[in-house]
């Protein structure tokens, strides 16, 4: 006898597959990526203003290249900026990009004076101070991408974990030969020079 508890995982898997398949076949409107036109009277207490500023989700382009520099405020502003939030969120959901946190260059960025100065520059925070950005995040539709199964597609892709099974990944990070004085363009290793 089949009970409802044994059918639940099958139903969930079928619905997720259907959702991913339907998302992959959707066409993208060219106007989705365009920022909203500036509104003269920004009233953050008016829900109609929230709707006028909302531009909808941006379809992501996933890349395995490390792009997040936590030492620069501009990298954090990509999370706040509506046109770049979803692609940043999607690229961060890709486990293959986490190898950047294992490299010494990632941590050396925190001691660079230009990065420290960027945190003191008010111009680095212009995206946060924009009334359209505030209105965008006041709209509940801005948070709907969290429930989209496509957001987690890269996390569920086994190919994105293969970088951790490759010995060359660890050789490039920990080997002393990556810190050759004759080729300063090479990345520094943890145990070199």
- pLDDT for the residue 157: 86
- pLDDT for the residue 113: 93
Q: Are 81 and 131 in contact (CB under 8 A)?
A: no
How many whole angstroms separate alpha carbon 169 and alpha carbon 171?
6
Torsion over CA: 177, 180, 184, 188 (sign): positive
pLDDT over 90, % of the chain: 18
> Does pLDDT of 140 surpass 80?
yes
How many whole angstroms separate alpha carbon 51 and alpha carbon 148?
20
12-21, 72-81, 149-158: range with lowest mean pLDDT:
12-21
- Per-residue pLDDT, averaged over 128-136, amounts to 91
How many whole angstroms separate alpha carbon 81 and alpha carbon 51?
16
> Does pLDDT of 24 surpass 80?
no
pLDDT digits (tens, 9 = 90+) for 34-81: 544 555 567 767 766 666 665 554 433 333 344 678 889 999 999 999
pTM equals 0.58
For the chain, the first-to-last Cα distance in angstroms comes to 68
- Of residues 134 and 103, the one with the higher pLDDT is 134
CA 108 to chain centre: 22
pLDDT digits (tens, 9 = 90+) for 67-116: 678 889 999 999 999 999 988 888 888 888 888 888 777 888 888 999 99
pLDDT over 70, % of the chain: 60
- pLDDT for the residue 63: 37
- pLDDT for the residue 33: 46
Mean pLDDT across the chain, nearest whole number? Answer: 74
């Amino acid at each position: 006898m089949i009970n409802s508890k044994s059918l639940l995982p099958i139903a969930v898997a079928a619905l997720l597959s259907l959702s991913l398949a339907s998302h992959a076949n959707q066409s993208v409107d060219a106007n989705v990526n365009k920022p909203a036109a500036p509104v003269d009277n920004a009233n953050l207490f008016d829900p109609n203003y929230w709707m006028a500023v909302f531009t909808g989700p941006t379809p992501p382009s996933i890349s395995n290249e490390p792009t997040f520099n936590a030492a620069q405020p501009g990298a954090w502003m990509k999370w706040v900026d509506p046109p770049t939030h979803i692609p940043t969120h999607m690229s961060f959901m890709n486990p293959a990009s986490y190898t950047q946190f294992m490299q010494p260059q990632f941590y050396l960025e925190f001691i660079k004076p230009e990065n420290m100065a960027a945190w003191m520059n008010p111009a680095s925070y212009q995206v946060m101070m924009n009334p359209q950005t505030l209105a965008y995040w006041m709209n509940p539709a801005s948070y709907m991408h969290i429930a989209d199964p496509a957001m987690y597609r890269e996390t569920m892709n086994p190919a994105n974990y293969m970088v951790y099974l490759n010995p060359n990944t660890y050789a490039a990070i920990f080997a002393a030969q990556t810190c050759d004085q004759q080729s300063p363009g090479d990345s520094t290793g943890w145990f070199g020079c």
